[in-house]
Structure 1
């Protein structure tokens, strides 16, 4: 006796009409009629009689209705208890790739909450370039990743994280622009620049400034901003970067945001075709809930 058939039976008993019951169950009327007929045949008893265009339960039907309600209540209670039990014993590891960004603070808060709720869960964070992180994500070495747009993420599920990433120019405190609070497109023309090695970022920057990349004086490229801070300090060049990647640095540098403002989203991504553990799925649901709050 299938749970599905008991649900069909109880819905017909409640609606007293096959057509209305079928609509409620989101199946066709002929399908439901056939299912009820086959159900009666398998039980070798008549469950309904038709009177005045309505279906009424027979004595056997009344008996089954009481038992069906008990069975479905027990089934629902069992499913809920199993879900609660699974919640209490979540364990395993969450592996996350993360770029240097403002949104890393949000990720840290979510991990703190996850560990508090499920003490047996552990995590591994891999820091690197977007290209390195995406490669590991594709190979299944990471469960998810925090990336900065623009990025090639069409083949992933994504959640947009709350903090916008602000782009600007990282200069030495002895740079001739250090007295300024912002930088315009005109300011960077002719200036020695150190840019991201990612083509998408350079394209976005050129679109912001309205100039061709060939018109810029790009003296070097980097994958991690940490590697070029000393070059900026020594006035070798000014680096195009996001505020979140340098906000905690105590070096002799200053971050000047671009005007007009140039911002991008930070996103949490995971493979569309990937198989996620219960622990990772729970963590993603926790983040989804936090973003909707």
Structure 2
């Protein structure tokens, strides 16, 4: 039902005069009369009776006046509450498959804070690319950043960037490994089935040494390398600061590699200004 009909009815019920109600509402008298008649037809009861020049509200009219007054108060409250949502920053829910992505997100968050106060970013670190894909499929995330191209045909993939991968270790460990066969390296690896594990195997032409320990996340591997437990094949961006500060060194005669990073969205999800701004800040081309 059009709530304007109830507002018109409230004015007539209060003033008991259609002409005065029309003046208050800035309507014509026939418009007010037509709206009252429309309400009466809707409910199937008489709301007013006219005796001579006087207008009298019926019992049904008095009941409607009481209930509609409460309804209009609730509606006005609801309008105010819904207005709060329009004034909130748009939240972009981002799922990432590796801590590596965080090294690229600081500039995005800074951009949102300085230039796009009407946008906010919620970042969830997932255990795998599969978890990110599931989050996109069940609408947990608006955007996913993965270290491999998504598998699901329900997702639209967008190539983001390539990351160089290098062998690193603490200074003593690198000195120990340089010039020795791969099989003799004190090797720290990722769990089987992970993209990082496949990348390290590919860099060594499938001749990987026995691993001292296997980790599920790159930050865990980096921490072990910093503690001098072994060497590892990691994205260069992940260890750049530690290399520059002399905490880690690169095995210069070891095979390097590359890691592809991808963005993905559900193909049926409508594009929003926030998502568009996030892709622009990350430098991701969405036009195909």
TM-score class, shorter: 0.5 to 0.7
Q: How many residue pairs are counted as aligned between the two chains?
A: 197
Q: Give the Cα–Cα distance (whole angstroms) in 2 for the partners of residues 95 and 115 of structure 1.
A: 16
Q: Give the Cα–Cα distance (whole angstroms) in 2 for the partners of residues 291 and 278 of structure 1.
A: 13
Pairing partner for 2:210 from 193, 212, 217: 217
Q: Give the Cα–Cα distance (whole angstroms) in 1 for the partners of residues 190 and 235 of structure 2.
A: 11
How far off its partner does 1:263 sit?
0.8
Q: Give the Cα–Cα distance (whole angstroms) in 2 for the partners of residues 154 and 229 of structure 1.
A: 34
Tell me the TM-score normalised to structure 1 length.
Answer: 0.53
Matched, 1:190 2:184: yes
| Alignment correspondent of 2:35 | none
Say which SS state the counterpart of residue 280 (structure 1) adopts: helix
In structure 1, list runs of 5 or more residues that go unmatched. 1-87
Q: Give the Cα–Cα distance (whole angstroms) in 1 for the partners of residues 181 and 149 of structure 2.
A: 24
| Alignment correspondent of 1:206 | 201
| Alignment correspondent of 2:58 | none
Write the mapping of 1:94-133 to structure 2, written as runs, cut at 5 A: 94-98=92-96, 99-101=98-100, 104-131=102-129, 132-133=131-132
Distance 1:286 1:121, change over 3 A: same
| Alignment correspondent of 1:144 | 143
Say which SS state the counterpart of residue 184 (structure 2) adopts: coil
Pairing partner for 2:241 from 248, 251, 254: 248
- CA contact under 8 A between 1:166 and 1:257: conserved in structure 2? no
Tell me the TM-score normalised to structure 2 length.
Answer: 0.54
Larger radius of gyration: 2
How far off its partner does 1:94 sit?
0.8
Distance 1:161 1:253, change over 3 A: same
In structure 2, list runs of 5 or more residues that go unmatched. 1-85
Matched, 1:263 2:254: no
Q: Give the Cα–Cα distance (whole angstroms) in 1 for the partners of residues 230 and 273 of structure 2.
A: 47
| Alignment correspondent of 1:173 | 171
For each residue in 1:179-220, what CA deviation from the matched residue of structure 2 results, as whole angstroms up to 9, or x when unmatched? Answer: 96xx9xx7432323221225233233323322256xx21222
Q: Give the Cα–Cα distance (whole angstroms) in 1 for the partners of residues 283 and 226 of structure 2.
A: 40
| Alignment correspondent of 1:12 | none
How far off its partner does 1:105 sit?
5.0
| C-alpha RMSD over aligned residues | 3.7
Say which SS state the counterpart of residue 175 (structure 2) adopts: coil
Q: Give the Cα–Cα distance (whole angstroms) in 2 for the partners of residues 290 and 275 of structure 1.
A: 17
Say which SS state the counterpart of residue 247 (structure 1) adopts: helix
